[in-house]
């Protein structure tokens, strides 16, 4: 992470907008600050990691309570259930539902894979599961559910309790499938994928993109940027590619609501900002994490790496400081815990 940050900072030497890249350095600074701070606390035992995740989970539930209270007050005014879902749910704090979803999913997977649980742990996990559904992130709901199912077959110690939890979640999923609700509507919308038009259309003013279609369209734009020699091997500089996206949105006459958004894909975002080397550095973070997780045999770490990989394909988490904080903190905590376990085993 530190090398990734330093490469981004070095892009000041070739950026096309010095002020944008300075802002980017400020946003991504937790990638170097948080690992340094956590490294000052080397004896990070398993029970301390569990306690940290539990405190984080309780904070998220307190956050859910405040968001639900606000949604309830708004519902009393206009009777719209949409206040309880997706971005509307977290609008009281001007947050993005995807970022909160990743935090919630992280806590769910950790608790789900803990071999010993108390009754309160089950309650916390179920409430977090409800929160994740209310946040309605298609990618993170599907990924979290699949990873939970996979973990049932990989970890015999959690098979019985995990099966009970999974059965409840399956019941909730079935309820969503056979009733009218915003979560179902968001998933169904992805079934109407107009792949050909997204890749070849020239005028999108009246076109209503689904979440997947927006992301496919942005893969197309990256290819066109490279074909037009607007993106080189070094990128345009940290936090300095969105202006080029805006130009393409304008050229293709997209609805103005799509302006001022990024690639919604951290890998594309990284390539556009700090080029091929930056992309390799980002991928190396995951490769090292997977290698260490497999080597240590820690199932939760493997699942968490997959979770972050999946989320990075649909959101530019490192372009927002809240995403940088979450990624840097979780990654650093797991790394320090693994280092502690290795040092203890060598004694």
Q: What is the per-residue pLDDT for 256?
A: 62
What is the CA 288 to chain-centroid distance, rounded?
A: 19
* Residue 11 pLDDT level (bands cut at 50, 70, 90): very high
Q: Which two tokens stand for residue 322?
A: 């809240």
pTM over 0.75: yes
What lies within 8 Å, CB to CB, of 118 at 6+ separation is: none
H/E run at residue 216:
helix 211-227
* Residue 284 pLDDT level (bands cut at 50, 70, 90): very high
User: Higher confidence at residue 16 or residue 81?
Assistant: 16
Contact 1, 331 (CB under 8 A): yes
Q: What is the per-residue pLDDT for 347?
A: 45
Q: Which two tokens stand for residue 260?
A: 């001022």
What value does the mean pLDDT take over residues 14-27?
Answer: 94
pLDDT tens readout for residues 204-237: 888 888 888 888 999 999 999 999 999 889 999 9
């Amino acid at each position: 992470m530190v090398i990734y940050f330093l490469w981004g900072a070095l892009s000041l030497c070739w950026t096309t907008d010095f002020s944008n890249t300075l802002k980017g350095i400020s946003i991504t600074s937790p990638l170097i600050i948080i690992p340094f701070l956590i490294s000052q606390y080397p004896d990070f035992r398993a029970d301390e990691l569990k306690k940290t995740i539990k405190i984080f989970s309780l904070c998220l539930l307190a956050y859910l309570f405040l968001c639900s209270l606000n949604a309830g007050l708004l519902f009393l005014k206009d009777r719209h259930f949409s206040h309880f879902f997706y971005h509307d749910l977290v609008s009281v704090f001007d947050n993005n539902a995807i970022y909160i979803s990743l935090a919630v999913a992280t806590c769910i997977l950790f608790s789900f894979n803990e071999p010993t649980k108390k009754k309160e742990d089950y309650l916390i996990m179920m409430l977090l599961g409800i929160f994740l559904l209310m946040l309605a992130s298609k990618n993170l709901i599907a990924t979290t559910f699949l990873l939970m199912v996979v973990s049932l077959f990989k970890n015999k110690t959690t098979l019985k309790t995990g099966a009970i939890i999974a059965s409840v979640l399956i019941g909730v999923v079935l309820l969503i499938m056979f009733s009218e609700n915003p979560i179902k509507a968001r998933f169904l919308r992805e079934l109407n994928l107009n792949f050909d038009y997204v890749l070849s259309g020239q005028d999108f003013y009246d076109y209503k993109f689904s979440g997947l279609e927006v992301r496919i369209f942005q893969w197309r734009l990256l290819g066109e940027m490279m074909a037009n020699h607007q993106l080189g091997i070094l990128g345009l500089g940290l936090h300095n590619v969105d202006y080029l996206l805006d130009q393409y949105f304008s050229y293709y006459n997209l609805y103005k609501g799509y302006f001022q958004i990024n690639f919604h894909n951290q890998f594309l975002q990284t390539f556009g900002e700090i080029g091929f080397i930056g992309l390799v550095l980002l991928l190396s973070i995951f490769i090292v994490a997977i290698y260490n997780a497999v080597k240590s045999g820690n199932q939760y770490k493997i699942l968490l790496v997959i979770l972050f990989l999946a989320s990075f394909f649909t959101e530019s988490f490192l372009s927002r400081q809240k995403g940088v904080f979450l990624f840097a903190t979780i990654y650093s905590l797991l790394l320090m815990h693994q280092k502690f376990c290795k040092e203890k085993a060598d004694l």
